[in-house]
Amino acid sequence: MSVYEKQLTEQGFKKIAGIDEAGRGPLAGPVVAAACILPQGLLFEKLNDSKQLSEKEREILFTAITTSPGSIYGIGIVDVETIDQINILRATHLAMQRAVAALSEKPDYLLIDGNQLPFFEIPREGVIKGDAKSVSIAAASVLAKVTRDRIMTELDAQWPEYGFKQHKGYGTGKHTQAIQKWGVCPIHRRSFEPIKSMLSAPCNEKEERGSNIQ
């Protein structure tokens, strides 16, 4: 139990949910959030900010978290169309709200990674770099990251030319080169640069070809 959970437990809170997201920055794919309530005393070896873990370590922790007795978790997913309609910050907040709504038991306190907090009727607190400071947020970080990575791997099978399995939709050199070659596909975020500028420019063959990929 981290200092945050310990202090809240001493104040009388019993169901403390950590919340984190994955996928705010990529050029493609959904944004995913997770909420996780861990029972007191439950410890996971190597549990930390998901970005500091290897893919194998995240997968092992995902299984451990989701199968441990007393562990409660919820996942919230917001698709590309919604991201483009309401912007990524609001979409991230919506994913967090969906994750909390998916919990089988209602938490009495929320620890949320970052300082931009969505609305909840439940008492909440933002923790900057919380995935490295709170065990509950760290667990949520792993759940969100693994869930999104699995989604992007599935999408890679539909659009293998973009390499989603490798870069998970982030704006790597390989991904940018693929967009330049093939244009955009249905899971690209049209409100993100450089895609937004590409689509607003005079139409060319590559853009048409990309937008028609099924």
Is 85 in the same domain as 143? yes
Instruction: Render the burial of 94-114: b for 16+ CB within 10 Å, e for the rest.
Output: bbbbbbbebbeeebebbbbbb
> At a CB cut-off of 8 Å and minimum separation 6, what does 68 contact?
38, 39, 42
Alpha carbons within 13 angstroms on the beta-carbon side of residue 17 total 29
pLDDT of residue 3: 85
pLDDT of residue 209: 38
pLDDT of residue 211: 38
pLDDT of residue 166: 96
**CATH number of the domain to which 15 belongs:** 3.30.420.10
Per-residue pLDDT tens listing for the chain (214 residues): 588 999 999 999 999 999 999 999 999 999 999 999 999 878 787 787 778 889 999 999 999 999 999 999 999 999 999 999 999 999 999 999 999 999 999 999 999 999 999 999 999 999 999 988 999 999 999 999 999 999 999 999 999 999 999 999 999 999 999 999 999 999 999 999 999 998 886 554 444 334 333 3
The two structure tokens encoding residue 40: 């007191």
CA–CA gap between residue 60 and residue 206 (Å, rounded): 41
Is 52 in the same domain as 148? yes
Cβ–Cβ < 8 Å for 142, 32 = no
Phi, psi of 203, deg, nearest 5: -60, 140
Is 38 in the same domain as 143? yes
pLDDT of residue 202: 59
> At a CB cut-off of 8 Å and minimum separation 6, what does 214 contact?
186
Radius of gyration of the chain (CA): 18
pLDDT of residue 2: 82
Is 101 in the same domain as 117? yes
Is 129 in the same domain as 171? no
Alpha carbons within 13 angstroms on the beta-carbon side of residue 126 total 10
Is 180 in the same domain as 133? no
Is 42 in the same domain as 129? yes
Ranges of beta strands (E only) in 38-118 are: 72-78, 109-113
Range of the domain at 149: 3-156
Is 19 in the same domain as 83? yes
Is 13 in the same domain as 99? yes
> At a CB cut-off of 8 Å and minimum separation 6, what does 66 contact?
73, 143
Q: Angle CA(149)–CA(150)–CA(151) in degrees, nearest 5?
A: 90
Is 110 in the same domain as 23? yes
Query: What's the domain count of the chain?
Result: 2
Is 108 in the same domain as 168? no
pLDDT of residue 51: 81
Asked which of 111, 127, 156 is the last residue of a domain, the reply is: 156
Is 23 in the same domain as 91? yes
Asked which of 118, 139, 156 is the last residue of a domain, the reply is: 156
Alpha carbons within 13 angstroms on the beta-carbon side of residue 89 total 6
